[in-house]
Amino acid sequence: MIYTDTRDSSVKTTFKNAVLSGMNKETGGLYIPVSFPKLDQDFLNKNPEPSFREVAFQMAKPYVDGEIPDEDLMAIIQDAYNFNPKVVPLDKNSYVLELFHGPTCAFKDFGARFMARVMSYFNKDEGSNLHILVATSGDTGSAVGSAFHNVPGIDVTILYPEGKISHIQEKQLSTFTGNVRALKVKGTFDDCQKLVKTAFTDEELRAKLRLSSANSINISRLLPQAFYYMYSSLVVKNRSALDTKIENPDVVMVVPSGNFGNLTSGLIAKEMGAPIAGFVAATNSNRTIPDWIATGDYNARPSVETFANAMDVGAPSNYERIKAMYTLDQVREMFGSYWTDNEGIKDGIKKCNEKTGYIIDPHGAIGYQAWEAIKNEGFPASADYEKPGVTANKPAWASSVENKTAVGVILETANPAKFGNVVCDAIGREPPVPQRLIDIMNLPDQAVSMENDYEQFKAWLLANL
Ligand SMILES: *Cc1c(COP(=O)(O)O)cnc(C)c1O
C-alpha cells in the first residue's frame, strides 16, 4: 500500500515511514492510504461471522502488503488482541459495542496495542532503542504505557500533571516497571506537552536519543480501530433478526467522539465494505463537529471540561482526514449529529440504567442519548444548534429510522468503573470494578517527581535512557 498526505497528494511513502514518523513534518499533514480496498464479498457474507482476529487480519493485510509478511502480521494481531470487542443487545433497536475489555479498560487499547507491536517490528532493523515521549491528561498515557510495556526495543516516558488526573488514572500510569516510566510534573498538561515538544526540537538531545511520539494521529492507531466496526456490523447483520426481530437492518454506528479518530476508523471500515448505513457523531459540549455539520462552518475552539473528559477536544485533529476523504455534502449524507452537556450526560447514565438495567459510562451515555433522541423523534427539520440535541441534518438513512428498520450500535468506549463518581451520582451506586483495575490500585507508585523545568527533564532523560 502507498500512503499519501492530507495536505499534499503528490507525497508517496511506505507504511513503515508513516508509522515511524507519525505525521509529515514538511507539510504538517497526516498520512492516509491512497485507497481502501474492499474485502471479499464471500468473507463478508459468512454466517456465522468470522472471528475478530480473522477480521483484523483480513483488514490489515492490504495496508502492510510487502512490508509485513502474513505470518508476522498474524503474530502481531494475536499478541495485540488477547481480548475481544463484545456486541451486547440493549433494547429493541439498539446494541452496545463494548470496547473496554482490554488491559486499560478503554477503547484506546485497540489502537495503541497494534501500534506498539508494529513500531517494535519496524524498529528491529534499526539497532538501537526508540524512545517514546508522551504527555497525557489521563487516558492516552495509560493506553500507550500499557501497550508498550515489555515490547522489545522501545522505551516509553509518560509525563503527567501532578494532582490533576484522577486517582485511578494516576495508578494506571505510574505503576509500570521496566521500559515504561512516568514523570509527575509540577505543572499543567500544557506544561507537560511543552516539555515534550521542546525535547523533540532539541538537536543535541536528538543526536543522542532516537525520539518518537505515539499520539492518536498515527495511522497505525487509526487502521486497527476499523477492525471492530467491521466485526460488529457483521455480527449485528447476522444476529439482529434474533435479538431485535429486525431482519437485515440498516446498521448505524453511534460514536461518542473527541478527536474523531474513532469515527474516522469507522469511515475506513465502511469504505472496505462493512455493512454500515451511517454514523452518529455524538459529542459533549465540545461541539465543533456538530456545529460544522449544522452550519457548514468549521470553527475550532479551546476545549471545555466535561464529565466525559476523554472527549474534551475543541480542535479535533481528524477533521483534517475527514475533509481529505469527503465533501461536506457527503458527510451530511452519512452522519447524523448530536451534542449534550453535563446534565445530559448524567441523565443518559440514569435513563439507560432505569430502562435497560445496563450501566453505561459518561462517554457511552452521550451515544445512548443521541440514539434515544434519533430513534424516538427522528431528525428535526430545524434546530437551534447552540442547544443540546440532534442537529438539523437528515442523513440518507433517516427513512430507515422512521420505518424502524435501523439498528443503532452505541460504542461504549470505557468501563464505567473508571468514572465511578459520576456514575454513582447518576444511579446511586458504584459500578462493579473489574479485577485488573483492583490489581493496579494495589501496586506501588513508581512515578518520579519533576519540576516544570526543561533542563531538569533533559538531564533526567540523558541519565536514565
Ligand atoms: C479517547 C476517548 C474517546 C474519544 O475518541 P476519539 O477518537 O478522540 O474521538 C471517547 N471515549 C473514551 C473513553 C476515550 O478514551
Nearest CA to ligand 1 atom 15: 310
Report how far residue 211's alpha carbon sits from residue 101's, in angstroms, rounded to the nearest whole number. Answer: 30
Residues 115-133: tens digit of each pLDDT: 999 999 999 988 899 999 9
Nearest CA to ligand 1 atom 2: 310
Reported confidence tier of residue 450, pLDDT bands at 50, 70, 90 = very high
Q: Is the pLDDT of residue 137 over 80?
A: no
Ligand 1 nearest atom to the CA of residue 106, by list position:
13
Residue 255 alpha carbon to ligand 1 centre in Å: 9
* 52 phi/psi in degrees, rounded to 5: -60, -45
Binding pocket residue ranges, ligand 1, CB within 6 Å = 106, 108, 139, 256-262, 310-311, 363, 413-414
Residues 174-217: tens digit of each pLDDT: 999 999 999 999 998 889 988 998 998 899 998 999 888 887 78
Residue 16 alpha carbon to ligand 1 centre in Å: 25
Residue 141 alpha carbon to ligand 1 centre in Å: 13
pLDDT (0 to 100) of residue 197: 86
**Angle, in degrees to the nearest 10, between helices 108-123 and 139-148:** 40
Q: Is the pLDDT of residue 239 over 90?
A: yes
pLDDT (0 to 100) of residue 303: 86
Nearest CA to ligand 1 atom 14: 310
pLDDT (0 to 100) of residue 164: 83
Residue 10 alpha carbon to ligand 1 centre in Å: 31
Residues 6+ apart with CB under 8 A from 53: 77, 78, 81
Residue 262 alpha carbon to ligand 1 centre in Å: 7
Q: What is the 3-state secondary structure (H, E, C) of 196-226?
A: HHHHHCCHHHHHHCEEECCCCCCHHHHHHHH
Reported confidence tier of residue 25, pLDDT bands at 50, 70, 90 = confident
